[in-house]
């Protein structure tokens, strides 16, 4: 892959040649500046919080003993809200009174970090704002049809390796961002190698037990060697500046499904619609959060129809970031993709979601899409 390396703007990343065991830095104690705390809540914290000085946070067990669960939750929320404003992040959105709190039952589960959830999604929404152009492939050696073939194959590989949806979406995002670099001008013969390499990187980033390098060589039918993948990995990492923490539609879809109180079958249908958007280059320019919201909107229309009007209520508008008027145009585009999926040349996603494990949602999706066309006329 020397030719691709020569085209890179920056020098490929070179691992350090230093041998021996890495020296781990001493763990740092979590601190919080007391000025970030609302004055009314100062009395709720232990005595080691002194105004104007750094305060060591008490242990979790100490917090449990000193204050009720609700008060702990409120203090954390106030701290996150105040810190976010002082650091120039998106404003903490206050939940309107008419909007249901979908995280009430999760307050006691510390692994779900309910106190930070609004802060996290505001940050993800801020990060997703920079998007590629849908016409980024114009004038390149590869085109949208070749990209669709590659993405279809990537979906099948992710399914065979039992990878998470996060790995799949990160792989696709990395491929698009790399292909969009004009200096690379990836050729048709190099396209599969780029796809395999991006999935290799994404799996190491997202999976607990990522596949071995030999597995990727095998799944590519020996079309590329281990050495080629390793060399291309350096080029891709350098070109993308090691930026792998990108928001995807999968992140926002989980929140939409929770807000909609969707069943597991409805969640699978929404995932099916969301993954179909990966094949079409037109959706590259769309915000992941809006794709997730549009997929959930279609799912609710397909499964519930007019029985539960309004489909897009205040809860969905708040938790998805979008009103029904904002979601509808994109939902109409996705609807056409769902209708055309059974007759498309790329069938991996359709076959994947025809599995009983995924509730066989794809066979009936096209028919249901035709039934709900009346909502978009």
**Geometric angle at alpha carbon 86, from 85 and 89, rounded to 5°:** 50
Average pLDDT, the chain: 82
| 15-24, 89-98, 328-337: the lowest-pLDDT one | 15-24
Q: Does the pLDDT of residue 85 top 50, yes or no?
A: no
Q: Work out the average pLDDT over 136-144.
A: 91
Largest alpha-carbon pair distance within the chain? Answer: 68
pTM: 0.77
**How confident is the model at residue 83, as a pLDDT?**
45
Q: Does the pLDDT of residue 354 top 80, yes or no?
A: yes
Instruction: Give residue-wise pLDDT tens across range 275-302.
Output: 999 999 999 999 999 999 999 999 999 9
3-class state of residue 56 by DSSP: strand
Burial 228-238 (b: 16+ CB within 10 A, else e): bbebbbbbbbb
* Half-sphere exposure (Cβ direction) of 129: Cα atoms closer than 13 Å: 7
In this prediction, residue 377 has a pLDDT band, given cuts at 50, 70 and 90, of: confident
In this predicted model, which residue has the larger pLDDT, 61 or 156?
A: 156
Q: Looking at the domain covering 249-376, what would its CATH class be?
A: mainly alpha
| 38-47, 238-247, 277-286: the lowest-pLDDT one | 38-47
In this predicted model, which residue has the larger pLDDT, 48 or 298?
A: 298
User: For residue 163, how many other CB atoms are within 10 A of its CB?
Assistant: 21
Q: Which residues in the chain are classed under CATH 1.10.472.10?
A: 136-239, 249-376
| Torsions phi, psi for 47 (to 5 deg) | -70, -15
Per cent of the chain over pLDDT 70 is 75
The yes/no answer on whether domain 136-239 falls in CATH 1.10.472.10 is yes
């Amino acid at each position: 892959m020397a030719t691709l390396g020569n085209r890179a703007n920056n020098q490929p990343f070179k691992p350090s040649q230093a041998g021996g065991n890495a020296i781990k830095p001493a763990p740092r104690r979590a601190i919080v500046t007391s000025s970030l705390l609302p004055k009314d809540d100062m009395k709720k914290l232990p005595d080691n919080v002194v105004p104007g000085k750094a305060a060591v946070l008490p242990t979790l067990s100490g917090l449990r003993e000193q204050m009720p669960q609700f008060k702990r939750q409120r203090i954390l929320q106030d701290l996150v809200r105040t810190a976010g404003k002082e650091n120039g992040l998106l404003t903490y959105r206050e939940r309107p009174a008419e909007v249901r709190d979908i995280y009430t039952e999760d307050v006691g589960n510390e692994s779900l970090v309910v106190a930070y959830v609004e802060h996290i999604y505001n940050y993800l929404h801020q990060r997703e704002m920079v998007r590629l152009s849908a016409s980024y492939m114009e004038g390149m050696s590869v085109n949208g049809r070749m990209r669709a073939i590659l993405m279809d194959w990537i979906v099948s590989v992710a399914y065979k390796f039992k990878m998470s949806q996060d790995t799949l979406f990160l792989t696709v995002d990395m491929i698009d961002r790399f292909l969009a670099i004009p200096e690379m001008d990836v050729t048709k013969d190099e396209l599969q190698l780029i796809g395999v390499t991006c999935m290799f990187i994404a799996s190491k980033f997202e999976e607990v037990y990522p596949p071995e390098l030999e597995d990727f060589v095998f799944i590519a039918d020996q079309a590329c060697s281990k050495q080629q993948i390793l060399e291309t990995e350096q080029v891709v990492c350098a070109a993308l500046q090691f930026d792998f923490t990108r928001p995807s539609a999968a992140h926002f879809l989980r929140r939409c499904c929770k807000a909609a109180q969707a069943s597991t079958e409805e969640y699978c249908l929404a995932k099916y619609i969301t993954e179909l958007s990966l094949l079409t280059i037109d959706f590259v320019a769309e915000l992941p959060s809006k794709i997730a919201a549009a997929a959930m909107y279609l799912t609710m229309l397909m499964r519930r129809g007019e029985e539960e009007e309004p489909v897009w209520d205040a809860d969905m508008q708040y938790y998805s970031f979008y009103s029904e008027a904002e979601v509808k145009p994109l939902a109409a585009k996705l609807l056409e993709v769902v209708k055309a999926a059974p007759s498309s040349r790329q069938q991996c996603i359709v076959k994947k979601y025809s599995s009983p494990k995924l509730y066989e949602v794809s066979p009936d999706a096209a028919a249901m899409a035709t039934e709900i066309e009346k909502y978009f006329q």
